[in-house]
Amino acid sequence: MSAFDYDLVIIGAGPAGLTAGLYAARARLNVLLLEKAVPGGQIIVTDWIENYPGFPEGISGFDLAEKMKIQAEAFGLKIDTAEVHSLALTPDVKEVVLQDKRIKAKSLIIASGASPKKLGIGEDRYMGKGISFCATCDAPFFKEKTVVAVGGGDTAVQEAIYLTKFVKKVYLLHRRDELRATKILQERAFANDKIEILWDTVATGVDGFFGIEGVHVKNVKTGEEKTLKADGCFIWVGTLPNTDFLKDAVDTDAYGFIRTDAKMQTSVSGVFAVGDVRDTPLRQVSTAVGDGAIAAVSAEHYLENIIK
């Protein structure tokens, strides 16, 4: 019996992990993909994706994730539900520690993604009671109500626009005096009469007993503070990498994102990182897919050259 369970283990089943799995399975590697939740990553809660090549009319994030999963499994990819607790990495063996067992692999691809960043305004207390990070999931609960949305990037603006399909009004808070979102999304937001943008403004807290009744805000330039009467608060202010299980196993940047080279190679030989979890200038489905393909091919080349 081989000392190794798999040629390759992939951690995370978002677009990057699924693509890596597809390429690896198609190359006939003995590969296992581990996902602690539902395959698809953050895109499964994205209402509509219109900038992914091949879908000129757009596609829902859930449907795109499902198509990726089906395609990868058609090539023989094995996907197991399990949470990774830690890694034990040496030049020869990549050991993945789960709750009830340890898996030994010759190579490893980390595709664990990232999670929404919190503001510290009561997210833990009011999660599911007015505070949300997902308009697609929770917008129907706020039909004909007023909500606050926080952020100025693509996700914040796109999700604020989506909210207007359900709510009466959206206050969009941005701490600067111009949005960071792409121009086409900005144009749509400016043209939407349900969206009121509050510039140079941050959320400082929320009020409510059973649920949110108001959101405290502050103008960062004037110092003016007030409370917006609102029934919900949606937060999109960036992401944090899902790297708690790494425990310094590979090099990361100051924010915890994994450093890689152009071949997706990390600081440990035979260990690669892809998608939102790595240090990258752009976090989109298309770039995640590209990362996954490169990493799988890099892992294949690595496996061909190591001493067996």
Using CA atoms of 83, 84, 85, 91 in order, give the dihedral in degrees to the nearest 10: 170
Cα separation, 25 vs 27, whole angstroms: 5
Q: Which of 138, 154, 276, 291 is catalytic?
A: 138
Q: How many CB atoms lie within 10 A of CB 67?
A: 13
The tokens 């190579």 sit on which residue? 107
Closest by CA to 70, choosing from 22, 38, 35, is 22
Cα separation, 175 vs 152, whole angstroms: 8
Q: Which residues contact 255 (CB under 8 A, 6 or more apart)?
A: 240, 241
Cα separation, 205 vs 218, whole angstroms: 10
Q: Which of 63, 134, 200, 207 is catalytic?
A: 134
Task: Please indicate whether residue 138 is annotated as part of the active site.
Answer: yes
Gyration radius of the chain over CA positions: 21
Q: Which of 92, 137, 253, 261 is catalytic?
A: 137
Give, to the nearest 10 degrees, the angle between helix 61-74 and helix 15-26.
20
Specify the amino acid at residue 66.
Answer: E
Task: Please indicate whether residue 233 is annotated as part of the active site.
Answer: no
Closest by CA to 60, choosing from 111, 160, 52, is 52
Cα separation, 189 vs 198, whole angstroms: 12
Query: Helix or strand or coil: residue 109?
Result: strand
Q: Which residues are catalytic?
A: 134, 137-138
